[in-house]
Structure 1
Amino acid sequence: MTETAAGSSQGGSAKKSGKSTRDAKGTKLGFFGRIALFVRQVIGELRKVVTPTRQELINYTIVVLVFVLIMIGITVLLDLIFGWGVGWVFGGSAPKES
C-alpha cells in the first residue's frame, strides 16, 4: 500500500506533511484515484478483522452488562450521597406537592 496522509504519524494533511498521494509508479493520483486507493485500503483493513466466536460474543456481552450495572450502581450511590449532602447543607427537604 502507498503512504497517505491518513497513514502518516503526523496526522496532518498530505500537503502539510510534504507527502502526496501517489500510486505504485510514483505518479500523483487524481480525485477518483484517491477514492479508489481509499477503498482498496479499507478492504485491506477489513480482511484483517477477526470475528468473535459465539461463546466469545456471549462472554463480551456479559462483561459489558456487568460493567454497565456496576456503573449504574455507582451513579445511584453518588446521587443519593450528593442529594443527602445538599439537603443537609441547605437544610431543606424535598418540595411538597399540593
Structure 2
Amino acid sequence: MRVSDSKAVSGPREDRERRRDTDKRTSIPTFYRQVVAELRKVVWPTQEQLVTYFFVVMVFVLVMIALVSALDLGFGKLVFWMFGGGGTQ
C-alpha cells in the first residue's frame, strides 16, 4: 500500500495542534505531586552501600589527583629541561 505525500508528512496545521497540547503548563500542585510520586519510585541505597560508594569514589578521586599531579610534574620538568629554565647569569 502506498501513502501519498500529503498523508505522509504532517502539515503546519497538524504541527500547531500537536504543539498546543505540549505547550500547556502544569500547575504547581500537580508538579509537586508528580515529583513526590517519582521520588517514591527511587530505590534508595542502604547505609552500608552508601559507605561503600563513598570510599570507592574517594579512592578514585585520590588516584586521579595522583595521576594528574604526576603528569603535571613530569611535563613541567620536561618543559624546563627543553627550554633551559635554570638559566645562569
> Equivalent residue for 2:67?
74
Structure 1 gap segments, 5+ residues each = 1-14, 22-28
Q: Which has the higher helix share?
A: 2
> Equivalent residue for 1:90?
83
In the TM superposition, residue 93 of structure 1 has moved relative to its aligned partner by 2.7
In the TM superposition, residue 20 of structure 1 has moved relative to its aligned partner by 3.1
Output the TM-score relative to the length of structure 1. Answer: 0.60
Structure 1 moving runs of 4+ over 6 Å: none
Q: Deviations over 1:64-96 (max 9, x none)?
A: 0110111011111111111111101210139xx
Using CA pairs under 8 Å that are at least 6 residues apart, name the structure with larger relative contact order, 1 or 2.
Answer: 1
Output the TM-score relative to the length of structure 2. Answer: 0.66
Structure 2 gap segments, 5+ residues each = 1-15
Percent identity, please.
48
SS at match of 2:41: coil
Cα distance in 1, alignment partners of residues 42 and 86 from structure 2: 56
Cα distance in 2, alignment partners of residues 40 and 93 from structure 1: 67
The residue type paired with residue 59 of structure 2 is: V
Q: Once superposed, what is the RMSD of the aligned Cα atoms?
A: 2.2
Cα distance in 2, alignment partners of residues 79 and 35 from structure 1: 50
Corresponding residue pairs, total: 69
Aligned residue runs from structure 1 range 47-66, under 5 A: 47-66=40-59
